Chain A
Amino acid sequence: MHSDRASLGLKIAAVGGLLFLHLPILLIFLYAFTTEDKSYQFPPPGLTTQWFGVAWEREDIWPPLYLSLWVATIATVLAMILGTLVSAAMARTSFFGREQISLLIILPIALPGVITGMSLRSAFSIMDIPFSTWTIILGHATFCIVIVYNNAVARFRRLSGGILEASADLGANSFQTFRYVLLPNLGTALLAGGMLAFALSFDEVIVTTFTAGQQSTLPIWMLQELVRPRQRPVTNVVAIVVFTATFVPILIAYYLTRGGSETAGAGK
């Protein structure tokens, strides 16, 4: 008889795999408290909370942080507008070129970041566009569209077309239907998509290195510290900030869409 219980080996391998995915992150937290700032000595020789104060005082951290927040906010807003529009079009109608459009939306995230980055870099070079905050946003919004799209299109599909017809029958015009019927139904899916897009943009480094020029976002600042470390625990403090700034939106996105057929984050 085929037993329907997992074997012990499978359980160990599965739980072990999950632990493998999570334990490394914990070390980031531990190393933020170490007294050793010249090497990654384990176990830490002593523990201190001074690095949080030092990081607060470091003036080179604040501008990248503001830039990252600004870029992520604008990119998310742009992606939410464009992603919602395209998901509304793709949700129920079938038209010529639909498959190609869906490929076009996915492409910026399906191709490695280095290609997206290098493509933008080539275009800026050919057209003599100088690097600025807007060149960063341009790249970020492009790969964030698909995140909003994925969340919104799943909700659109689940939404029964009947309620839109009912709204029209009761005398609402398209804009009223959008405001009072569609938006409340889409709300959490859009919010979840926006959260994930924000997390993705805030953390993005590969495309950004090609489009930022001399400016530093927080991930680029971190990358520079990783290549040439100075006060190592300070990098850990910043890493905790970056981790939290991505972790919290992801959790919110999960709880917003939990239980539906289209839980957020199933694909990146």
Chain B
Amino acid sequence: MTSPTPAILPERGLADRLTALFWRHPRLLLAVLLTPPLLWLGVVYLGSLFALLLQSFYSIDEFSGMVNREFTLKTYAELFRAQNLDIIIRTLVMSAAVTIGCAIIAFPIAYYAARFARGKWKAIFYLGVMLPLWSSYLVKVYAWKLILAKEGIITWAADGVGLSMILNAILAIPGIGGNSLSTSPLGTFIVFVYVWLPYMILPMQAALERVPTSMLEASADLGASRAQTFRTVILPLAMPGVIAGSIFTFSLTMGDYIIPQIVGTSARFIGLAVYQLQGTAGNIPLAAAFAVVPIVIMLIYLTIAKRKGAFDAL
């Protein structure tokens, strides 16, 4: 007579012993899983952010050009010089304008994709937004340099249909116009809107997809016209999505320094100021202080957005 197989199998080496250990102490497994990524993010990323803060409290010695590693608020005070304040305000105005521009163009796309697109069209709309979102940033900016150039396709098209008068009139407007579209603030604005548009569409679409059809029917049953339903039902329910999208468009515009460098006037934005100060000027403390500005603005923005319930749509 053979003895029955025991219910608990004998251990087969280290792997089994570790398995048993993890089973008895699930926290241990958690610690093993979390330690490498947390070490990386904690040391490399948080460490760097801390270094950024630290640098912003240093100052630069005006005579030697060396970084003076003593705590001071002098560098932050420099941000309030007229020329630096100009940069910050210009960046904020551009970010706000880009956010509004994105919201207006994104809405019909998101609304159609969420409410009406079915089957094949749903996939087309999904890929149609996702591919531009992920495809090369620099290639997109370059494409617009080609389009907006003085000898480029827009001037050609405007000439072709006899609208060059209007184009020239727009370019003559002080503040947004310039020599050509590719050297005007308007051009910078167009490229920003183009590049960040997908970031607005996706959260908007997610919010609109959650609007129940029954609510629209109820609104119609109660006698609301299409416009009334849109204004009083759809728009308020889409708002968290719009705010979530605006977080991206606002923050990305505020930190970008490639687009204003390639398309636009030579007027500086925060990102460009950071880049030039740490590079050619060698003033790392002031560059760091400039980089703290978008962080502070985004923290304020996020606090407001959180109160409006924008994070449920992310």
Contact = CB atoms under 8 A, between A and B. Distances in A.
A27 B45 contact: no
Interface in B113-150: 113, 115-116, 124-147, 149
The 8 closest A-B pairs by CB, nearest first: A112-B255, A2-B220, A13-B108, A14-B112, A119-B48, A123-B51, A173-B19, A40-B149
Contacts of B291: 114-115, 118-119
B46 interface: yes
B235 interface: no
Nearest to B255: A112
Contact of B9 (A10, A171, A205): A171
B139 A126 contact: no
B36 A222 contact: no
Contacts of A10: 108, 111-112, 116
B33 interface: yes
Interface string B15-52: 11011001100110110011011101110111111011
A93 B262 CA distance: 47
A126 B152 contact: no
A33 interface: no
B261 interface: yes
A107 interface: yes
A27 B147 contact: yes
Contacts of B29: 174
Contact of A235 (B46, B130, B142, B251): B142
Interface of A: 1-2, 5-6, 10-11, 13-14, 17-18, 20-22, 24-25, 27-28, 31, 39-43, 81-83, 85-86, 88-89, 93, 95, 101, 104-105, 107-108, 110-116, 118-123, 125-127, 138, 141-142, 145, 168, 171, 173-176, 196, 199-200, 203, 205-206, 209-210, 219, 222-223, 226-227, 235-236, 239, 242-243, 246-247, 250-251, 254, 263, 265-268
A268 B41 contact: no
Interface residues of B, number: 103
Contacts of B113: 14
Contact of B109 (A18, A123, A268): A18
Main secondary structure on chain B at its contact with chain A?
A: helix
Nearest to B16: A173
5 contacts: A1-B220, A10-B116, A21-B129, A42-B153, A250-B130
Contacts of B145: 40, 226
Main secondary structure on chain A at its contact with chain B?
A: helix
Given A28-B143, A121-B284, A250 B135 contact: yes
Given A17-B105, A175-B19, A86 B48 contact: no
B55 interface: yes
A24 B52 contact: no
Contact of A268 (B16, B108, B134): B134
